[in-house]
Amino acid sequence: MTFALETQELTIRFGGHVAVDAVSCGFEPGTLTAIVGPNGAGKTTYFNLISGQLKASAGRVLLHGDDLSGCSAPQRSHRGIGRAFQLTNLFPNLSVLENIRLAVQSRARLGLNMWSIWSNHRELISRAEEVLETVALTAKRDIAACALPHGDQRKLEVGILMALEPDVFMFDEPTAGMSVDEVPVILDLIRTLKARRDKTILLVEHKMDVVRELSDRIVVLHNGALVADGEPAAVIASPIVQEAYLGVEVAK
Amino acid sequence: MMLGRLLSGDLPRSRVLTAVLIAIFFGLLLTPFLFPGARATNVAAKICIFIVLVASFDLALGYTGIFSFAHTMFFGIGAYGVAIALSTLGATWKALAIGTGAALMVALVLSLLIGLFSLRVKAMFFAMITLAVATAFQTLASQLSAFTGGDDGLSFKVPELLTSAFPLSPHTFRGVALDGKLLCFYLVFAAAVVLLLVMLRIVNSPFGRVLQAIRENEFRAEAIGYRTVVYRTCSSVLSALFATLAGVLLALWLRYNGPDTSLSFEIMINILLMVVIGGMGTMYGSVVGATLFIIAENYLQDLMKLASNGFSGVPFLRDLFHPDRWLLWLGILFIVGVYRFPAGIVGKLRFSAWKKS
Ligand SMILES: Nc1ncnc2c1ncn2[C@@H]1O[C@H](COP(=O)(O)OP(=O)(O)OP(=O)(O)O)[C@@H](O)[C@H]1O
Ligand SMILES: [Mg+2]
């Protein structure tokens, strides 16, 4: 069995602090894996190592069996690793549509084209409009990203990821800070994505009901280390999660 | 439609701005006939050249967010390239081509080196590195006097077709001699229009859109697959090449080049003022900014002389309006301008038009 994505002994140290500690984990194509763990467990850092925002101190990331160690973040993006950020990370003064169109353009590898007029590439714009529709932002296409309310910024963040059409989707708390009526848009999107069964999805999520419903498997990180991995029901019931994760949740 | 393509789909998007741009275009085009006399034509030629220079600066600063002090260095390389070639090889078109080609090569190599070695560092350090390189180049230009004429600079002849010694027609038109000097003006004008349109195309290409993305959020641009070092390097190389071409036009027009005409730090400050007054990241801003600034630079002093003479009985006001204080007044205008229009004139006009629609 080759994994769509695999990390082997993936480790990063910040000074003396080991933020991700020798995490070995494989993700099968077509599955949704939830990654859970208390605040500061290293979930976001784990994502940063996979998508290339951070360089590992040790260990490897494999995509369809290929070692990505020498690849930069842009290269990993082109190879099919897509990433939505926990802290919204947009092009603030560009329009909502342009935020998405830039991702579509990157996927079409047209970035170094200096001589055509961007607006003549209708196919990129229509694709961006399609994506905008899926994240329910069509009405706001011409507004600057920074002028959007928080919930819409989160949707746009996810929209940029959708526009990249990667093989591996990594969502980092996509619904955090969203109002109750906005959450379903994002969850439906993830559900649809999962139903296609050809994409590999990694989801960091604190809401346990969401995790229970969506995931095929749960991986638990604690102090940077992988401490539990398996079927959702079994993992949630395991003492280590009750203590290490749900204990924190309850205490909050 | 045709015009839309020429402007790369980037229309002024404001009636007032459209009117201003049309006025500037025809004003410059017709200057030799509307305002006879060498001075007005000189000012118009300088405006054309600075539009290119400021637009090329805007390509890096306004669109990509790269601030470089070495911009006048490339302006100087263009001007010195032509000056040295024409004064050593003679006043031929071939010498002009060689000078321009050599200048572009030097600019390409230098900007590529600066880009590859220092665009990875923080913006502040990058600015400091370019400042160091530019200062070194300036010193070099005045030291190598056998080559560059030192502080005195180089006077040289241009191909005869571009001089007043070459009559195009025995007639005059509205009292203006139709000679090679007039032709030279229109050469500068046409080159400026073409170069501006090319830059407008570049910033409105898919590539130009990535530059703006990098200016907005470099980290995210990387994350969606753009290798930002490549784009930033391309942007600063292009910016340098266009500045070089502006320098070529300057030398061709002045038939002289020296450190003060093309390399001085003052020009660097002026370019910065022009791009900020006009509106960063708009291209049209460089047209408006350069035009306003150079007209002010040349005629504000006259206006002040008038005012100063008018106030000759009031010592304080007389001194305040003394022509030597023109920079003070320009400074005041600048501060008021930036305070009132933080996005520059073009930004302001577009915003008002957008709000109305
Ligand atoms: N660039 C960095 N430099 C130093 N320490 C870092 C850096 N990035 C993360 N850390 C540390 O690594 C640890 C893991 O952080 P990370 O953001 O990955 O946690 P998380 O599981 O995503 O938490 P949360 O649920 O709050 O998002 C934290 O202790 C954090 O302070
Ligand atoms: Mg996190």
Mean pLDDT of A20-32: 95
**Residues A54 and A71: beta-carbon distance below 8 Å:** no
The Cα B273–Cα A177 span in angstroms is 43
Does A116 contact B at CB distance below 8 Å? yes
Whether A201 shows a pLDDT value over 50: the answer reads yes
Q: Whose C-alpha lies nearest to ligand 1, atom 3?
A: A14
The Cα A141–Cα A64 span in angstroms is 36
Mean pLDDT of B241-269: 95
What confidence score (pLDDT) does residue B55 get?
Answer: 98
Instruction: List the single range of A100-104, B23-27, B169-173, B211-215 with lowest mean pLDDT.
Output: B169-173
Per-residue pLDDT band for B178 (boundaries 50, 70, 90) equals confident
Q: What is the distance in angstroms between the Cα of A75 and the nearest Cα belonging to chain B?
A: 6
**Residues A38 and A245: beta-carbon distance below 8 Å:** yes
Mean pLDDT of A167-189: 92
The Cα A126–Cα A119 span in angstroms is 11
Whether B337 shows a pLDDT value over 80: the answer reads no
Nearest CA in chain A to B225: A74
Mean pLDDT of A74-100: 96
Q: Would you say how long chain B is, in residues? A: 357
Chain B positions with Cβ closer than 8 Å to A: 5, 8-9, 201-202, 204-210, 212-213, 216-217, 219-228, 230-231, 234
Tokens of A222: 């604690």
Q: Which residues of A touch B355 (CB under 8 A)?
A: none
CA distances from A117 to A98, A114, A122 (A): 14, 8, 10
Unique residue bearing structure tokens 């003679």:
B90
**Residues A89, B220: C-beta atoms closer than 8 Å:** yes
Q: Which residues of A touch B350 (CB under 8 A)?
A: none
The gap between the terminal CA atoms of chain A, to the nearest Å, is 40
**Residues B57 and B111: beta-carbon distance below 8 Å:** no
Cα three-residue angle B142-B144-B149, rounded to 5 degrees: 65
Query: In testing the pocket of ligand 1, which one of A10, A14, A204 has its CB within 8 Å of the most ligand atoms?
Result: A14
Please write the tens of the pLDDT for every residue from A236-251.
Answer: 888 877 776 555 554 4
Residues in contact with A187: Cβ distance below 8 Å, sequence separation at least 6, in sequence order: A175, A210, A214
The Cα B117–Cα B227 span in angstroms is 16
Tokens of A96: 């909502």
| Phi and psi at residue A170, to the nearest 5° | -120, 115
Q: Coil, strand or helix: which one is A29?
A: coil
CATH of domain A1-75+200-252: 3.40.50.300
Whether A156 shows a pLDDT value over 90: the answer reads yes
- For chain B, the average pLDDT equals 91
Unique residue bearing structure tokens 């928080």:
A150
Does A115 contact B at CB distance below 8 Å? yes
Please write the tens of the pLDDT for every residue from B79-110.
Answer: 999 999 999 999 999 999 999 999 999 999 99
Mean pLDDT of A73-92: 95
What confidence score (pLDDT) does residue A251 get?
Answer: 41
Q: For residue A37, which atom of ligand 1 is closest to its CA?
A: 21
Ligand approaching nearest to the C-alpha of A222: 1
Q: Which of A8, A2, A35 is nearest to A24 (CA)?
A: A8
Q: Which of A233, A243, A221, A236 is nearest to A35 (CA)?
A: A221
Q: Whose C-alpha lies nearest to ligand 1, atom 22?
A: A44
Residue A243 DSSP one-character state: I
Task: Output the pTM of the full model.
Answer: 0.93
Instruction: List the single range of A194-198, B32-36, B322-326 with lowest mean pLDDT.
Output: B322-326
Q: What is the distance in angstroms between the Cα of A236 and the nearest Cα belonging to chain B?
A: 33
Which run of H or E residues covers position A67? strand A66-67
Residues B176-210 as b/e (b if ≥16 CB within 10 A, e otherwise) read: ebebbbbbbbebbbebbbebbebbbbbbbbbbbbb
Mean pLDDT of B181-197: 96
Does A125 contact B at CB distance below 8 Å? no
Cα three-residue angle A79-A85-A87, rounded to 5 degrees: 160
Does A169 contact B at CB distance below 8 Å? no
SS3 letters across chain B:
CHHHHHCCCCCCCCHHHHHHHHHHHHHHHHHHHHCCCHHHHHHHHHHHHHHHHHHHHHHHHHHHCCCCCCHHHHHHHHHHHHHHHHHHHCCCHHHHHHHHHHHHHHHHHHHHHHHHHHCCCCHHHHHHHHHHHHHHHHHHHHHCHHHHCHHHCEECCCCHHHCCCCEEEEEEECCEEEEHHHHHHHHHHHHHHHHHHHHHHHHCCHHHHHHHHHHHCHHHHHHCCCCHHHHHHHHHHHHHHHHHHHHHHHHHHHCEECHHHHCCHHHHHHHHHHHHHHCCCCCHHHHHHHHHHHHHHHHHHHHHHHHHHHCCCCHHHHHHCCHHHHHHHHHHHHHHHHHHCCCHHHHHHHHHHHHHC
Per-residue pLDDT band for B317 (boundaries 50, 70, 90) equals confident
Minimum-distance CB partner of A105 among B204, B209, B230: B209
Per-residue pLDDT band for A252 (boundaries 50, 70, 90) equals very low
**Better-predicted residue by pLDDT, B335 or B83:** B83
Residues B252-287 as b/e (b if ≥16 CB within 10 A, e otherwise) read: bbbbbbbbebbbeeebbebbbbbbbbbbbbbbbbbb
Domain ranges of chain A: 1-75+200-252
Please write the tens of the pLDDT for every residue from A97-155.
Answer: 999 999 999 999 999 999 999 999 999 999 999 999 999 999 999 999 999 999 999 99
Mean pLDDT of A171-187: 91
ipTM over the 0.85 cut-off: yes
Residue A224 DSSP one-character state: T
The Cα B290–Cα B286 span in angstroms is 6
What confidence score (pLDDT) does residue A240 get?
Answer: 75
Whether B187 shows a pLDDT value over 70: the answer reads yes
Ligand approaching nearest to the C-alpha of A19: 1
- Best A102, A120, A131, A171 residue to mutate vs chain B (most B CBs within 10 Å): A102
Which run of H or E residues covers position A186? helix A183-195
| Phi and psi at residue B270, to the nearest 5° | -60, -45
What domains are defined for chain B?
Answer: 2-356 (1.10.3470)
Alpha carbon of B276 to ligand 1 centroid (Å): 40
**Residues A77, B224: C-beta atoms closer than 8 Å:** yes
**Residues A160 and A125: beta-carbon distance below 8 Å:** no
Mean pLDDT of A156-180: 94
Q: Which residues of B touch A164 (CB under 8 A)?
A: 224-225
Q: Which of B271, B306, B274, B305 is nearest to B292 (CA)?
A: B274
Q: Whose C-alpha lies nearest to ligand 1, atom 17?
A: A44
Residues in contact with B342: Cβ distance below 8 Å, sequence separation at least 6, in sequence order: none
**Residues A112, B230: C-beta atoms closer than 8 Å:** yes
Does A88 contact B at CB distance below 8 Å? no
Whether A80 shows a pLDDT value over 60: the answer reads yes
Residue A198, classified by CB atoms within 10 Å of its CB into exposed (0-12), middle (13-18) or buried (19+), is exposed
Residues in a beta bridge with A23: A10
Instruction: List the single range of A44-48, B142-146, B219-223 with lowest mean pLDDT.
Output: B142-146
Query: In testing the pocket of ligand 1, which one of A13, A44, A89 has its CB within 8 Å of the most ligand atoms?
Result: A44
Whether B252 shows a pLDDT value over 60: the answer reads yes
What confidence score (pLDDT) does residue B166 get?
Answer: 82
| Phi and psi at residue A204, to the nearest 5° | -95, 125
Minimum-distance CB partner of B8 among A102, A117, A121: A117
**Residues B216, A93: C-beta atoms closer than 8 Å:** yes
**Residues B217, A77: C-beta atoms closer than 8 Å:** no
The Cα B19–Cα B151 span in angstroms is 42
| Phi and psi at residue A24, to the nearest 5° | -110, 125
Q: Whose C-alpha lies nearest to ligand 1, atom 31?
A: A40
**Better-predicted residue by pLDDT, B117 or A63:** A63
Q: Which residues of A touch B213 (CB under 8 A)?
A: 91, 94, 102
Residue A188 DSSP one-character state: H
The Cα B281–Cα B212 span in angstroms is 9
Q: What is the distance in angstroms between the Cα of A83 and the nearest Cα belonging to chain B?
A: 8
Cα three-residue angle B352-A128-A154, rounded to 5 degrees: 80
Residues in a beta bridge with A67: A62
Alpha carbon of A39 to ligand 2 centroid (Å): 7
Q: Whose C-alpha lies nearest to ligand 1, atom 9?
A: A45
Q: What is the distance in angstroms between the Cα of B226 and the nearest Cα belonging to chain A?
A: 6
Mean pLDDT of A49-76: 95
Which residues have C-beta atoms less than 6 Å from ligand 1? A 14, 19, 37, 39-45, 86
Unique residue bearing structure tokens 């055509």:
A116
